[in-house]
Amino acid sequence: MTRKIITGYSNPTIKFVRSLRDKKHRRRERRFLAEGLRLLTDARESGRLPELLLMATGREAHPLLDDLEQAVAAAGGDVIEVPLDILAKVTGKDNPQAVCGVFVEWDTGLSTLDRAAAPIWLVAQAMRDPGNLGTMLRTADAVGAGGLILIDDCVDPFSVEAVRASMGAIFTQHLAQARWSDFLVWLRGGPGQLVAASLREAVPYRGAAYASPCFVMVGNESRGLPEDYEMACDLRVTMPMKGRADSLNAAVAAAVLAYEVLAALN
């Protein structure tokens, strides 16, 4: 196996990889970055390989890294060694991981989803925080959901921060992006119960009549869900709020609700 070695920061490949930290370039190139051996191993085990693998020179040897390198090369991808300081600049971290990969984005249309494949789906509307989005993917994996559907203008799920927060679930969970009106048409084209945490005409979240496939929806971090979105739901549920605040962090609300749905459907 041959490896390329790049030692200069101005190398076009390095510039290209670095550019993928910006959403604009990700959209244009339809590619994104994932960092760290654990994340890249999760990807490999989920059948996703980077088309380009960057490894730091002088990294510690690791059998999983050997496996990854061989798989990328066998699939026709590029394996490149770079000095650690260049890798640090690419990934923008002071303490960079010793490995980073460039992945081709995949289709995130609603038509790629098979709603019958799982009893729970998570839905986020206008979610702005990449950490929350990645955390929702991670929660979706944990509750055995089919995936995450992003409604309206959400933060980019392929951002470095969201990919990192997903702890690998970006590679295992299905992901769709749609406008609200298109989502509603798709949803009503088959079985599916749309559930939102709400204060409007809501029933207690414990003991509510959840039904599979159940689509658990949370809204924007600051504004919550628009009222007409809530009213379009099949079920509105409310969680106890014992303190001064009237809402939970969006990713937390989705998780508490999703675990309740999981228990109810089992």
Contact residues: a second copy, CB under 8 A? 42, 45-46, 131, 135, 138-144, 165, 167-169, 172-173, 206, 239-245, 247-249, 251-252, 255-256, 259, 262-263
Q: 194 exposed, middle or buried (CB, 10 Å; 0-12, 13-18, 19+)? A: buried
What's the closest the beta carbon of residue 26 comes to a second copy, in angstroms? 21
Q: 61 exposed, middle or buried (CB, 10 Å; 0-12, 13-18, 19+)? A: exposed
Residue listed under structure tokens 């496996």? 67
What's the closest the beta carbon of residue 191 comes to a second copy, in angstroms? 21
Instruction: Choose between 31 and 115: whose C-beta lies nearer to a second copy.
Output: 115
Instruction: Choose between 9 and 259: whose C-beta lies nearer to a second copy.
Output: 259
What's the closest the beta carbon of residue 248 comes to a second copy, in angstroms? 5
Contact 206, 260 (CB under 8 A): yes
Instruction: Choose between 31 and 236: whose C-beta lies nearer to a second copy.
Output: 236
What's the closest the beta carbon of residue 1 comes to a second copy, in angstroms? 28
Amino acid at 50: P
Distance (Å, rounded) from C-alpha 45 to C-alpha 172? 9
Instruction: Choose between 143 and 160: whose C-beta lies nearer to a second copy.
Output: 143
What's the closest the beta carbon of residue 169 comes to a second copy, in angstroms? 7
Instruction: Choose between 63 and 240: whose C-beta lies nearer to a second copy.
Output: 240
Amino acid at 80: I
What's the closest the beta carbon of residue 147 comes to a second copy, in angstroms? 11
Instruction: Choose between 211 and 265: whose C-beta lies nearer to a second copy.
Output: 265
Structure tokens at 83: 């000095």
Interhelix angle 130-142/250-265, nearest 10 degrees:
10
- Residue 95 region by backbone torsions, left for phi larger than 0, else alpha for psi between -120 and 50, else beta: beta
What's the closest the beta carbon of residue 206 comes to a second copy, in angstroms? 6
Instruction: Choose between 4 and 23: whose C-beta lies nearer to a second copy.
Output: 23
